[in-house]
Chains A and B, each alone.
Chain A
Amino acid sequence: MNWLAIWAIYRHEMVRAFRTVLQSLVSPVITTSLYFVVFGGAIGSRIEQVEGVSYASFIVPGLIMLTVLTQSVTNAAFGIFFPKFIGSIYELLSAPVSFLEIVIGFVSAAATKSFLIGIVIFITAHAFVDIEVAHPILMVVILIVTCLVFSLFGFIVGIWARNFEQLQLVPLLIITPLVFLGGSFYSISMLPPVWQTVTLFNPVVYLVSTYRWTFFGYADVNLALSASMIVLFVALCLGVIWWMFRTGYRLRT
């Protein structure tokens, strides 16, 4: 394993992220505050409790997931797309590094940035509501896993995208709707039975449900099923990336 190359990629990506640190961190804080004002204050004041938790507190895990998922996909996709776009990808492809090393470098950098954003949102949430975390270690672990899984997915998007429009397509048209429909702002038990079944085809449901469990000890979906679905999604992403590098899909001619 070429650890020095992995570190070089990771460091390079983090330096790039910190060049726009205000935009990266301040923007999510403002957005999250607005969500609290609208959902927690305006709408939440008319909803008493969800599964024994105040509505304002109930939406915290979903809000963190909403931002972390979107940021993970966007960061990782942009990380690999940008060198493709400007042509500097030649350096990665001609270096003595394996596909796994490239993936580890880019994905871990994107995941680190998303994780930091998740923590910032968690701290911001404390300014609006009292939150007690039932399983703090698992809360952090699930957050890291989520950052990694969706950064892997974002990496695939970045290789697939041929232009900036395609790059934005997946976060805007797939990730955001999936997160909104994945129980971020409601418990899926509040849906009619048919929609509860349909919702189970949304992979984000399992992440939000598991993450909410680490906060309140309550989950919409069985934890073992959620863990299985997350592992399946990781395996699928790794398989696609392996195939992309093996065939040189949109990288090598």
Chain B
Amino acid sequence: MNEHDPILTVDRLNKTYDSGHTALSDVSLTIERGEILALLGPNGAGKTTLISTICGLVRPTSGRVSVGGYDIVDDYRKARSLIGLVPQEITLEPFEKVWDTVRFSRGLFGKRANDAHIERLLKALTLWDKRDAAVMELSGGMKRRVLIAKALAHEPRVLFLDEPTAGVDVELRKEMWAVVAQLRADGVTIILTTHYIEEAEAIADRVGIISGGKILLVEEKGALMKRLGQRQVRIHLAEPVERVPDVLSNHGLERAEDGRSLIYTTLEGGPPLAGLFADLAGAGIVVADVDTRRRSLEDIFVELVHNGNGDAA
């Protein structure tokens, strides 16, 4: 295993529960070292099942997963020692002290006590002042940070964050993004599930979209936006027009119903607008105002999930 090999490989993973529900269907995925992958999907898409299977909480029906080159079944000790998991729910013993619970997590992963490391972690997560406080005395945001501290206590190389900002306010969400950015700077590979599109847009390098237990798409965020992102320019006119003049037909303009504006749609990174505006002026059309709307990742996501085949228009 060299440093250029993927840190995580999921190969044709399937999970069907005893109830007969298929949560994962032929999922394959490769995660590179040091990247942040956001797994987007609606409720029940299979995001948590995928993470839980990789971390050993759910038994796969078939398929293979390796972490750092170690199989999660045959070499579970080595594979799991590389993984940190932050669960979706706040699952902490209410009477336990912050310091004790983080220290316990480190020991559980077979690492010798390292008070200096735990001190660094608690300081980085602004929990140092609360180290002797019982978990039940903490705010919701602090409890989430304790979960992150526990997951990082054994110095994992891959961190799974299962909906880290579900149900938290905007301020705390941005605080969590800052924590994730710092972890990434420290070289930790991060896989997070979310159904907040803006979260994926803000912090991910790549975006994976999962629905109905299938991975519909995994792509670098910028490339995805360039390929599927659209820009819509609405040109408000000083005087309404009856129809789009013939000299503008090569621009693919649409006329709004009231004739008071023209709509121009192009892909991200499409041709500059100077030519269009020159042709408008040549046709004697006076532009009163212009507004631009970009197709968001959310639009792409909704369309992909709706189509269910990874193809967006």
- Residues of A whose CB lies within 8 Å of any CB of B are 2, 4-5, 7-9, 11-12, 15-16, 19, 82-83, 86-88, 90-97, 248, 252-253
Decide yes or no whether B264 CB sits under 8 A from chain A.
no
Complex Cα distance, B143 from A86, in Å, reads: 14
Closest Cβ of chain B to A22, distance in Å, is 15
Nearest residue, chain A, Cβ from B81: A96
Chain A residues with Cβ below 8 Å from B18 are: 253
Q: Which A residues are CB-close (under 8 A) to B56?
A: 93-94, 252
Q: Name the residue on B nearest A2 (C-beta).
A: B110
Task: Name the interface residues of B236-257: CB closer than 8 Å to any CB of A.
Answer: none
Known A11-B107, A95-B108; contact A2-B77, beta-carbon cutoff 8 A: yes
Is the beta-carbon distance between A93 and B57 smaller than 8 angstroms? yes
Cβ contact within 8 Å between B105 and A91: yes
The residue that B83 contacts in the complex, of A82, A92, A94, A253, with Cβ under 8 A, is: A94
B interface residues, how many (CB within 8 angstroms): 34
Please give, as numbers and ranges, the residues of chain B lying within 8 Å of A5 by CB-CB distance.
107-110
Asked if B80 is an interface residue, CB under 8 A from chain A, the answer is: yes
Q: List 21 A-B contacts (CB under 8 A).
A: A2-B77, A5-B109, A5-B110, A9-B108, A15-B96, A16-B93, A83-B93, A90-B55, A91-B108, A93-B56, A94-B55, A94-B56, A94-B80, A95-B109, A96-B79, A96-B80, A96-B81, A97-B108, A252-B56, A252-B58, A253-B59
Interface residues of B (CB under 8 A from A): 17-18, 55-59, 76-81, 83, 85, 87, 89, 91-96, 100, 104-112, 150
What are the nearest 5 A-B pairs in CB distance?
A: A8-B107, A87-B91, A96-B77, A96-B80, A94-B55
Which partner residue on chain B sits nearest A10 by CB separation? B107
Complex interface: chain B residues within 8 A of A7 (CB): 107
Not counting A5-B109, A15-B100, a sample of 13 additional A-B residue pairs whose C-beta atoms are within 8 angstroms of each other reads A5-B107, A5-B110, A7-B107, A8-B104, A8-B108, A11-B107, A12-B100, A86-B93, A87-B87, A90-B85, A91-B150, A252-B58, A253-B18
Complex interface: chain B residues within 8 A of A11 (CB) = 104, 107
| A229 to B19 alpha-carbon distance, docked (Å) | 40
Cβ of B78 and Cβ of A96 under 8 Å apart?
yes
Q: Which residues of chain A are within 8 angstroms of B89 by Cβ–Cβ distance?
A: 87
Q: Which residues of A contact B91 (CB under 8 A)?
A: 86-88, 90
Distance to closest chain A CB from B83 (angstroms)? 7
Contact B85 A4 (CB under 8 A): no
Most chain A CB within a 10 A radius of its CB, from B59, B76, B100, B107: B107
CA distance A90 to B93 in the complex (A): 13
* Residues of chain B with a CB closer than 8 A to A4's CB: 107, 110-112
Minimum Cβ distance to chain B for residue A95 (Å) = 5
CB distance from B103 to the nearest CB of A (A): 8
B residues within 8 A CB of A86?
91-94
Are B92 and A88 touching (Cβ within 8 A)? yes
In the assembled complex, the CB of B224 is this many whole angstroms from the nearest CB of chain A, namely 31
Q: Give the distance in Å from the alpha carbon of A92 to the alpha carbon of B55 in the complex.
A: 11
With a 10 A CB-CB cut-off, give which of B55, B76, B94, B110 has the most chain A CB atoms. B110
**Complex Cα spacing A11 to B95, Å:** 15
- B79 — which chain A residues lie within 8 A by C-beta? 96
The complex places the Cα of A82 from the Cα of B93 at a distance, in Å, of 9
Question: Whole-angstrom distance between the alpha carbons of A248 and B61 in the complex?
Answer: 13
Closest to B80 in A: A96
Shortest distance between the CB of B52 and any CB in chain A (Å)? 8
B160 — nearest CB in chain A belongs to which residue? A94
* A83 CB to nearest B CB, Å: 8
Cβ-defined contact, A90 with B108, below 8 A: no
User: How close is B145's CB to chain A, nearest CB, in angstroms?
Assistant: 16
A157 to B112, CA, bound (A): 32
Q: Please, how many angstroms separate the alpha-carbon atoms of A253 and B78 in the complex?
A: 22
Q: How far is the CA of A87 from the CA of B56 in the complex (A)?
A: 15
A15 surroundings in chain B (CB, below 8 A): 96, 100
Interface centre among B100, B104, B106, B150 (most CB of A within 10 A): B104
How far, in whole Å, are A94 and B52 apart by their CA atoms in the complex? 9
CA distance A7 to B109 in the complex (A): 11
- Residues of B with C-beta under 8 A to A88: 91-93
Residue of B with least CB distance to A8: B107
B17 partner residues in chain A, CB cutoff 8 A: 253
B76 touches A96 (CB 8 A): yes
From A19, A82, A96, B109 is in contact (CB under 8 Å) with A96
- CB neighbours of B107 from chain A (8 A): 4-5, 7-8, 11-12
CB distance from B96 to the nearest CB of A (A): 8
A99 to chain B, nearest CB (A): 12
Give the distance to chain B from A4, nearest Cβ to Cβ, in Å.
5
Chain B neighbourhood of A87, CB < 8 A: 87, 89, 91
Whether the Cβ atoms of A96 and B110 lie closer than 8 Å is yes
With both chains docked as a complex, state the minimum distance between the C-beta of A180 and any C-beta of chain B, in angstroms: 33
- Could you say which residues of chain B place their CB within 8 Å of the CB of A93? 56-57
Given contacts A5-B110, A9-B108, contact A19 B92 (CB under 8 A): no
